[in-house]
Structure 1
Amino acid sequence: MDFVLIRHPEVIVDTGVCYGQTDVPLQRDVRDLASALNARMTALNVPACIDGWHASPLQRCASLAHELGGHAHIDARLGEMNFGAWEGRAWDSIDRALIDAWAGDIEHACPHGGESLAQFAHRVIAWFDATCIDQRAVHVVAHAGVVRVLAAHLLGIARESALQWPLDFGAIVWFRRVRGQWLIVRWNA
């Protein structure tokens, strides 16, 4: 099975703002972005999308998924982590003690009142388990958090480790399952 994920391209939001589930638009025209992504995927020999793209309902993902493949499977479980009261706030305006408490137990703490990493991962992995059974290829447009959580799940590594992996806007991530084991074909391509 091939599993292809694309992180949404750059959005219109001030640098340093926590925007998790805030619905912010893409910076560039979605048709131009889709054209450039299709060209990159062709150059990388990414398998063609057969059954339509899967995407977060947030416009930065859903609009690109529609443009990439016409029909898109929109699923709220692919939405970015919910940062609760921190949504739309500059990171440097959030009480440092709250950020430290979150970092001290990244898996379970949620001082923002949104989702803990464990809750977020449970939601995303539930989507994967329900959607990716017996498929030849699945293509997704999602958020950095979703991509990193799925990478940790597929590779059997700690989520805290995968959260540190660089992932550019518009990055292509491609996994392939070979003899029951997931391998990274491309990361941040």
Structure 2
Amino acid sequence: MDLVLIRHPAVAVEAGVCYGSSDVALAGAAAAGAQSIAARLAALGARAPQRIETSPLTRCASVARLLGQMHGGLAPNEDARLAEMDFGAWEMQRWDAIERAQIDAWAADFEHARTHGGESVAQFDARTGAWFKALMAFDVQAHESLWAVAHAGVIRAVTARALGLPLARCARWPLEMAAIVVLRREASSGEWSLARWNA
């Protein structure tokens, strides 16, 4: 099974602002973003999806619906576990306006700190991990290719879990807007491998 993880296109938010779980709009038309992603997926030789999953946030769900329409009217499944991390009081604040001591405390305890009052990284990882674990119940033959439109944090967390890597390591990997990541699961062994990153 191929798990194709698609980051949403650019959003209408000023650079340097923390927008995590906030439901912000796309900077451009969803249709243009979906068409561009579809063209790149085709160029990469991605297999057509039997199922599409998406974060319920508009910047993902709007694109997922259009990708589904391009593939026989496939209706995407919105799953709250695919939403970006909740940064609590930091949401929609400029990163450089957040008190430095709070940022330092978060960095000092990357997995468990909740200085912003939202989710800890451990809580976020458990949430996205529950979604990933549910993939194991899918019939690999019936779902040879599953696409998921999500967020940078979600894609890094799922990739880390699939490859058995620390999330802190994958958190440093570059991931552009509208990036495509392909994880491949061998039917016989159940092992995952990374076929493409930031494509």
Q: Distance in 1 between matches of 2:7 and 2:36?
A: 14
Task: Tell me what 1:158 maps to.
Answer: 166
Q: CA deviation at 1:131?
A: 3.7
TM-score, normalization by structure 2: 0.92
Q: CA deviation at 1:33?
A: 1.1
Aligned residue-pair number: 188
Amino acid in structure 2 at the alignment position of 1:127: W
Give aligned-pair identity as a percent.
52
Structure 1 runs of 4+ off > 4 angstroms? none
Q: Distance in 2 between matches of 1:108 and 1:96?
A: 18
1:87 matched to 2:91? The reply is: yes
Aligned ranges 1:5-84 → 2 under 5 Å = 5-51=5-51, 53-70=52-69, 71-84=75-88
Q: CA deviation at 1:50?
A: 1.6
Deviations 1:140-164 (CA, angstroms, capped at 9, x unpaired): 0000000000011000011100000
Deviations 1:22-49 (CA, angstroms, capped at 9, x unpaired): 1111111111111111111111011111
Deviations 1:49-78 (CA, angstroms, capped at 9, x unpaired): 122x21111000000000101311001110
Q: CA deviation at 1:132?
A: 4.4
Secondary structure of the corresponding residue to residue 41 of structure 1? helix
**Which moves more between the two structures, 179-188 or 160-169?**
179-188
1:187 matched to 2:181? The reply is: no
Deviations 1:103-147 (CA, angstroms, capped at 9, x unpaired): 001111110000000000100111121244233322100000000
Amino acid in structure 2 at the alignment position of 1:60: R
Task: Tell me what 1:175 maps to.
Answer: 183
8 Å CA contact 1:132, 1:138 repeated in 2? no
Task: Tell me what 1:113 maps to.
Answer: 117
8 Å CA contact 1:12, 1:25 repeated in 2? yes
TM-score, normalization by structure 1: 0.96
8 Å CA contact 1:11, 1:27 repeated in 2? yes
Amino acid in structure 2 at the alignment position of 1:163: A
Task: Tell me what 1:138 maps to.
Answer: 146
> Which ranges of structure 1 fall in alignment gaps of 5 or more residues?
none
> Which ranges of structure 2 fall in alignment gaps of 5 or more residues?
70-74
Task: Tell me what 1:149 maps to.
Answer: 157
8 Å CA contact 1:148, 1:162 repeated in 2? yes
Alpha-carbon RMSD across the aligned residues, in angstroms, is 1.0
Secondary structure of the corresponding residue to residue 169 of structure 1? coil
